[in-house]
Amino acid sequence: MNNIQKVAMAAMFAMSLSILASGQADFSLKKVPGSTPNSLTAINNNSQVVVNAGTPTSYDISVWSRIDDLVDLGLTGVNSGGSAIDGLGDVVGAGDPGTGVLQAFIWRPGTGVQWLGSLGSGMSMASGVNDAGAVVGLSYTEADTQHAFLWTQAGGMQDLTPNLTSIGGATAVAINSSNEVVGYYFPNGTYNPVGFTWTQDGGWQDLGPAGTLALALNDSGTVVGQSRNAKGYMHAFSWTQSGGMTDLGTLGGTVSSALGVNNKGWIVGTSLTTSKTDFLRAFLWTPSGGMKDLAAVAGLPKSQQPTSVQVNDSGVIAVATNTGISLLIPKMKAKLTSSPNPAKVGQPITFTATFSSIAGPPPDGETVQFTLGGQSIGSGTLSNGVAQFATSALAAGSYQIAASYAGDANYLAVTSSSLKQVVNP
């Protein structure tokens, strides 16, 4: 993902479609092993999840997926943490390179850790990375002022806010595939942050009123975060260049915050509810369904208090809570039909399997097996969620046929209900 994890406002690294309304969960829950309660997390488009775990004095960073299990980054130390992961599995965050001061890093599979330096003080933290390996975050300057940075392998660390002198400073939070950067800063002489978007060609643009935090963006330039509404409450928002700011509302409480957005336009975050205890809940917002409580549409236990929520382009959601990290995987549904049915011996029969989920169908090109008694009788290739197999080799009789999708890095395996196919002499 491009917009994977957030740092907190004052440079503290480790702080803080149509959705069905039937009550039936549209997701399967998978617990991520080894995760510490109330930790940060991030997810990429291969459903690789950043796992931050440890004790109050020592932290360990790993990458987990259902395919590869846990892969340790080999980084330990006080306050070390991973904050974002790109499509290649590169992880960025902050750790101690042996100086006793936190410094931004990028970790690459098979290569290991590269320390990114700083803007003069030795201290820096990375908070976002895109698939080209461009990294954004914050760093302190020689004058001990917090500035936003953009780092690339070719150009090193670039100061995006060279003229900033405010105590609150600036933080670059996320970067998309076009190298558009978003974050927030404290304008000189002020005490309230303002969101920003930045591009190399277009430069700097303020985003939202005082109090706005821009926390994520997708490849089309939709920015999400938290901004003060007319009544003074902080609400989740989305913003586009053409449409401006949109208040996404809450789950009934007074405060909400959008933490991630994918290229489908799905937005995830947290919101207070109207319960007597005013619990914080994770939400999923879609253009067609609005804001829904993940406890309702994903079966996430209501007792779990979210710390961090991210979503990838396949609709897989990583939620870090007070009990650890859970992966919410869209449930794939399968339907099998045939034509003709009944058929005659020697007559071609076409079996059609259709797969769908709240996030859409599985990717084109993946394979579906058609089975009889658990044994494959043929296969088909998915296109827009549909795979077909035709045969004229069935003898006279009655058969129970099923279609099976083996799943992939994002989706779980699923098998259709058996279809009774009749072949007459």
What whole-number distance in Å separates Cα of residue 350 and Cα of residue 392? 9
What whole-number distance in Å separates Cα of residue 194 and Cα of residue 170? 9
User: Looking up tokens 């011996």, which residue turns up?
Assistant: 345
Mean per-residue pLDDT over the chain, rounded: 91
Q: Mean pLDDT over residues 48-75, rounded?
A: 86
pLDDT for res 56: 60
The architecture of the domain spanning 27-330 is 6 Propeller (2.120)
What whole-number distance in Å separates Cα of residue 319 and Cα of residue 282? 8
Greater model confidence, 57 or 402: 402
| CA distance from start to end of the chain | 56
pLDDT for res 18: 35
Q: Which two tokens stand for residue 351?
A: 């079996």
Model confidence at 386, pLDDT cuts 50, 70, 90, reads very high
Could you give the maximum distance between any two Cα atoms of the chain, in Å? Answer: 89
pLDDT for res 279: 84
pLDDT for res 38: 85
pLDDT for res 4: 31
What whole-number distance in Å separates Cα of residue 227 and Cα of residue 241? 16
Q: Which of 419, 316, 418 is nearest to 363 (CA)?
A: 316
Model confidence at 159, pLDDT cuts 50, 70, 90, reads very high
pLDDT for res 68: 87
User: Looking up tokens 């336009």, which residue turns up?
Assistant: 265
What whole-number distance in Å separates Cα of residue 322 and Cα of residue 155? 40
Q: Name, in order, each residue with C-beta under 8 angstroms of 389's C-beta and a sequence gap of 6 or more.
A: 350, 351, 368, 370, 377, 378, 379, 380
- DSSP reduced 3-state for 217: strand
How do residues 67-106 score in pLDDT, each as one tens digit?
988 899 988 777 789 999 999 999 999 999 988 899 999 9
**Quick one: 29 exposed, middle or buried, by C-beta within 10 A (0-12, 13-18, 19+)?**
middle
What whole-number distance in Å separates Cα of residue 329 and Cα of residue 31? 11
Boundaries of every domain in the chain: 27-330, 333-424
How do residues 37-49 score in pLDDT, each as one tens digit?
888 999 999 999 9
130 CB-side CA count, 13 A: 20
What whole-number distance in Å separates Cα of residue 43 and Cα of residue 3? 9
DSSP per position, 139-197:
EEETTS-EEEEEEETTTEEEES-TT---SS-EEEEEE-TT--EEEEE--TT-SS-EEEE
pLDDT for res 11: 28
Q: Is the pLDDT of residue 7 over 50?
A: no
pLDDT for res 60: 87
Q: Give Cα 355 to chain centroid, integer Å.
A: 23
pTM, two decimals, is: 0.92
pLDDT for res 166: 93
Q: Mean pLDDT over residues 213-238, rounded?
A: 97
How many other C-beta atoms are found inside a 10 Å radius of the C-beta of residue 236?
Answer: 28
Instruction: Tell me whether strands 27-31 and 49-54 are parallel, antiparallel or unpaired.
Output: unpaired
Q: Mean pLDDT over residues 159-181, rounded?
A: 96
CATH topology of domain 333-424: Immunoglobulin-like (2.60.40)
How do residues 308-367 score in pLDDT, each as one tens digit?
999 999 999 999 999 999 999 999 999 999 999 999 999 999 999 999 999 999 999 999
Model confidence at 34, pLDDT cuts 50, 70, 90, reads confident
Q: Is the pLDDT of residue 201 over 70?
A: yes
pLDDT for res 12: 28
Helix (H) or strand (E) holding 244: strand 244-249
pLDDT for res 17: 33
Q: Is the pLDDT of residue 5 over 90?
A: no
User: Looking up tokens 């990458």, which residue turns up?
Assistant: 63
User: Looking up tokens 């936190």, which residue turns up?
Assistant: 102
High-pLDDT (> 90) share of the chain, %: 83
Model confidence at 9, pLDDT cuts 50, 70, 90, reads very low
pLDDT for res 55: 64
What whole-number distance in Å separates Cα of residue 160 and Cα of residue 153? 16
* Alpha-carbon torsion (172, 174, 178, 180), positive or negative: negative
Q: Is the pLDDT of residue 2 over 90?
A: no
